[in-house]
Amino acid sequence: ERDLLTVGEALVSLRSPGPLAAGGPLTMHLAGAESNVAIGLARLGHRAAWVGRVSDDELGEFVLRQLRAEGVDTAGVRRDPDRPTGLMFLERRTADVSRVRYHRAGSAGAALCVDDLRAPLAAGARLLHLSGITPALSDSARDAATWAVRTAAESGIPVCLDVNYRAGLWSRERARATLAPLAGCASVIVASTDELDLVAEPDADENAAVADLLRRGVRAVLVKLGADGARAHTADGVRHVPAVPVTAVDTVGAGDAFTAGYLSGYLDGLDLVDRLRRAVALGAFAVAGHGDWEGLPRRDELSLITGSAAG
Ligand code: CKP
Ligand code: MG
């Protein structure tokens, strides 16, 4: 059986080592929050499938080749003959400030619809993962994401939802209107502290948001604290693990790495604290290397920056 099914938009990211306005060379990479998670799990030996739409041209081919090379199952992917693959430009402004700009409106990925997901979901998986980016892409993508989360929850497949708020895609009010109802169908919520009120009441603080989510049936609320590690709230209380200290060179993809680490620990049957340890370990790998997912570890590399903590 498949361990993970994840649904989203994969992008081509074009990275500039300096200001975009100054021109110069760009390098081409695969990006996309859900495909990052799929790669993170596949690298650790789990069976991960990614579903979404890609263009029926060279860029779509590039996305699929990258995913396949990483061992991600792409059998459910649809090629869209009419729409382009979304682009993301990433420019490095200073050593530790980089900026992202999207060209993704009207993309193949945004044309995702419920029909694209029926067969992949019927094939089953131990976990379904989505991020809040997918329902932000278009009305049909929002319907597809909502349908997938509800259908999985009804058939007993645990759902992981990473809030992943993107101000460039929708307002906080629109995000909350879609994500807050959906959160009640999730087993695991992943958020940074400033995202928690998007799955609960407006202006809810961490404790209020967590209480609300647990009352609605969420099993674990994971709060990412960056260099301060992460907290997990469950019905048994709250646990904290510190971050693994590394020199951060690129924080894009850290959240997805964290999620992949947690879900890997879940699939391996680790207890809550050990899942969190693996989550922060993968987050450390992601920030210590360039690229959204390129630095993620294989299983035999887990101990490289974590000693025994993530083992
Ligand atoms: O929250 P993260 O930094 O882990 O997410 C990064 C990804 O999908 C990145 O790969 C990018 O393509 C995106 O988030 C996005 O659409 O912003
Ligand atoms: Mg994120």
Please state, in angstroms and as integers, the Cα–Cα distance from residue 87 to each residue in 63, 101, 195, 211, following that order. Answer: 11, 8, 25, 38
- The residues that are catalytic are 256
Mutate to test the pocket of ligand 1, among 6, 70, 164 (most ligand atoms within 8 A of CB): 164
Minimum-distance ligand 1 atom for the alpha carbon of 252: 3
pLDDT at 310: 43
Spacing, Cα 122 to ligand 1 middle (Å): 27
pLDDT at 306: 65
At 80, list the tokens: 């869209």
Query: Using a 6 Å cutoff on CB, does residue 16 contact ligand 1?
Result: no
pLDDT at 96: 75
pLDDT in tens, the chain (311 residues): 899 999 999 999 999 999 999 999 999 999 999 999 999 999 999 999 999 999 999 999 999 999 999 999 999 999 999 999 999 999 988 877 889 999 999 999 999 999 999 999 999 999 999 999 999 999 999 999 999 999 999 999 999 999 999 999 999 999 999 999 999 999 999 999 999 999 998 889 999 999 999 999 999 999 999 999 999 999 999 999 999 999 998 889 999 999 999 999 999 999 999 999 999 999 999 999 999 999 999 999 999 886 444 44
Calculate the CA dihedral of residues 138, 144, 148, 150 and round it to 10 degrees. 90
Minimum-distance ligand 1 atom for the alpha carbon of 9: 8
Query: Using a 6 Å cutoff on CB, does residue 265 contact ligand 1?
Result: no
Going by alpha carbons, the residue nearest to atom 7 of ligand 1 is: 33
Q: Check: CB of residue 30 under 8 Å from CB of residue 284.
A: no
Rounded to an integer, what distance in angstroms lies between the CA atom of residue 19 and that of residue 110? 28
Minimum-distance ligand 1 atom for the alpha carbon of 162: 1
Query: Using a 6 Å cutoff on CB, does residue 252 contact ligand 1?
Result: yes
Rounded to an integer, what distance in angstroms lies between the CA atom of residue 249 and that of residue 254? 11
